[in-house]
Structure 1
Amino acid sequence: MGYTNVKIKGIGAYQPCNIISNKYYIQAFKEIAVDVENILQKTGKNKRGIINNVNENSLTMAIKSAEKALKNANISAEQLDMIVFVSDTPEYLSPSNALIIANKINAKNANVVYDMNANCLGMLVALDQISCVMKMKEDIKYSLIVSGIYASSISREDCLVTYPMVGDAAAAIILEKKEEEIQRGIIESKYLTFSKYYENAMSPACGMTKARKDEVTEYDRKMKWIPFSMDFCPDVWAKMIKEFADKYKFQISDIDNFFLSQLTVNYLKKTAKLLDIEKYEDKFPYIGDVYGYTGATSPIIALHYALQTKNIKEGSKAIFASVGTGLILNSILYIF
């Protein structure tokens, strides 16, 4: 029996060259008599790339990461059949950013191009859904999933969460469809939604219609964040992961890598503890100390880092997991 597998063939990441350390934010919050040092230490933030010029945005970053992914995959842009751009900070609403990317990288044979937004869950939702589309459509062999997150552009300077913790970045994945004798790629995904939190984090805070009006302040056009506990996220992920293990008859110890949301290092530590994994550092790559929290791109940049720093063997199991505004949580079982 053969399998139609959709696998990650190449990956790219991009960070602005303007790197800002915690020192800048600690000083900025001291000026309004607020101590931000504690939250930065607890969440594991140290540095982050922040756009500081008018020529860079989510789209330009996405293009650069896409070019890197194509090089890494050793294919040309002309081989792409599908491009999906993922972002909650897109540069344009029309035309689609994916269409512009297709033009800029000369992906002249990519005829399925569109944008999507699932907030911080975006790249994992795209990875899951596009894998399904590719399996159904015979004429799609290579797809590009690319995300650019310009988080600093929507962060309020008095917000303890979004302003000091986020970073701007982009990531890209090349997916390849192949007929193989063993099953690989995405094996299964799980989702759980708690929609009651939708008002706690809204961007723009005033809504899109009002954001077009001159009388609305820049502050109200940015993201509002009403603090609430998200500490249940590791419990949800651990439950999903254990269900994968039960269904597919393997041990948690058989999972070699966990590519989780980089919102806070504490979520990685807690998830590892719930799964009885002693040294989380061995299996849970954390890049939030260098990139900051980069939303939808964060689990993919963690994968990018792991591919550069360790030997990920063919056939090894991995978990992708994240959380999106609102809240929506998911987990994906993947075999390399």
Structure 2
Amino acid sequence: MVNVKIIGTEVYHPATKISNEELAQTAGESAAKLIGIWEYFGRKDRYYATNDEESTLMMGIEAAKAVLKAHGLSGSDLDMIVFSSGTHDFSAPTDAALVHQALEGKDTCIVYDSNANCVGMVVAADQAARAMTTNNKMKYALIVGSEQIARFYKEGDLASKGLCGDAACAVLLERIEEGDQGLIDSAYYTNSQKAEDMLFPYGGMTQMFSEQLTLEEKKIYLHPEYNVNVAFPTAVSNIELLLREHGLEKSDITHYMLSQLNLSVIKDIAGKLGEELDKFPYVGDIYGYTGTSSPFLTLHHAIQAGTLVRGDLFFMWSVGAGITSCATLWRL
């Protein structure tokens, strides 16, 4: 049976690593409180770009080059390039087109950007894999996820900035004509009743150059009661749904690669599923929260550590502003 499998991952992050204590130095009397918040979410360190040249796009290009090199491929081998981000560098041209240029891709390659915010890379891999199964002209696809969320929080919102880090991940997908490796299925949940509770840019693109709003006002807006907690129970329900639909047991699953936003939520999901926490890798203490790439950074580390091997079944799940979430079931 035709399927699309993951054949490789690579990660890029800036060189500058900043600990909770270092980041809190500018907070004065609030330092201890901020460190407590960050530790509750599972933060310890994160990487930050320290100049404008090390952008969302640049990080994505570096991760893309690394994954191609690791697997002996070139840009001309790619049939599709998808760039997932909530902090794209460009609306025109697409960041994917600029990745294509940097990789010297072929002129028959499909290129487009994807933005489902923090769940974006999970969605992009799902949608790309489904497209590849219906098109026998496609052999390889590159999914790039890159984000720099902290850069766009308001200057006074150190609590939110400290939750985030800068990083990119690139994933290679390959169409195979037979075998049981690859994407098995996906399940989505969307609740848009309070979609406007997180806005970026505030006022929308039509007010990007308006002088009615200050630069600070145009940065990420969060409603005082904003949270994505409504989606967390669906991680459990969607995972259990996919298990039932495919005749699988939880004991068949070796890993759950979840959004790295909140370690406490990961622990809660593990408890509700009745699974041991060691099935839920966590790298948010290394990278901070990297948005779209966060579940794939976790996947990369599990593969590199040898805890996830060929033939293993695993889930990926994340949630993005809107609110929308997606669970995907794969066999490596």
Q: Does TM, scored on the shorter chain, surpass 0.5?
A: yes
Give the gaps of 5 or more residues in structure 1. Answer: none
Q: Does 1:189 align with 2:186?
A: yes
Aligned with residue 331 of structure 2, among 317, 321, 335: 335
Q: TM (normalized to structure 2)?
A: 0.95
Q: Deviations over 1:161-210 (max 9, x none)?
A: 53110111111111100111x33211110011111221221111232111
- 8 Å Cα contact 1:102-1:110 kept in structure 2: no
Taking the aligned partners of 2:212 and 2:131, their CA distance within structure 1 comes to 44
Structure 1 consecutive aligned stretches of length 4 or more whose deviation exceeds 6 Å: none
Taking the aligned partners of 2:122 and 2:107, their CA distance within structure 1 comes to 25
SS of equivalent to 1:8: strand
SS of equivalent to 2:177: strand
Q: Deviations over 1:275-313 (max 9, x none)?
A: 1113x1x21111100100000000000001111112423
Structure 1 match to 2:25: 27
Which aligned pairs between 1:240-251 and structure 2 lie closer than 5 A? 240-251=238-249
- 8 Å Cα contact 2:38-2:159 kept in structure 1: no
Structure 2 counterpart of 1:224, which letter?
Y
- 8 Å Cα contact 2:231-2:324 kept in structure 1: no
Aligned with residue 73 of structure 1, among 71, 74, 85: 71
Structure 2 match to 1:302: 298
Taking the aligned partners of 1:120 and 1:302, their CA distance within structure 2 comes to 14
TM-superposed deviation, 1:232? 4.3
- 8 Å Cα contact 1:83-1:110 kept in structure 2: no
Structure 2 match to 1:84: 82
Q: Deviations over 1:43-67 (max 9, x none)?
A: 1001111111121101100000001
Taking the aligned partners of 2:111 and 2:59, their CA distance within structure 1 comes to 18
Structure 1 match to 2:43: 45
Q: TM (normalized to structure 1)?
A: 0.94
TM-superposed deviation, 1:215? 4.7
38-47 or 242-251, which deviates more: 242-251
SS of equivalent to 1:313: coil
Q: Does 1:150 align with 2:148?
A: yes
Structure 2 match to 1:317: 313
Give the gaps of 5 or more residues in structure 2. Answer: none
TM-superposed deviation, 1:259? 0.6
Structure 1 match to 2:222: 225
What is the alpha-carbon root mean square deviation over aligned residues? 1.7
Which aligned pairs between 1:63-212 and structure 2 lie closer than 5 A? 63-159=61-157, 161-180=159-178, 182-212=179-209
- 8 Å Cα contact 1:78-1:110 kept in structure 2: no
Q: 1:259 and 1:110, CA in 2 relative to 1: closer, same or farther beyond 3 A?
A: farther
Q: Deviations over 1:143-165 (max 9, x none)?
A: 11112212122112323653110
Structure 1 counterpart of 2:20, which letter?
N
> Percent same amino acid at aligned positions?
35
- 8 Å Cα contact 2:86-2:117 kept in structure 1: yes
How many residues are paired up?
331
- 8 Å Cα contact 1:73-1:174 kept in structure 2: no
Structure 2 counterpart of 1:186, which letter?
L
- 8 Å Cα contact 2:74-2:103 kept in structure 1: no
Structure 2 counterpart of 1:317, which letter?
L
SS of equivalent to 1:167: coil
Taking the aligned partners of 1:236 and 1:65, their CA distance within structure 2 comes to 31
Q: Does 1:283 align with 2:257?
A: no
Structure 1 match to 2:253: 255
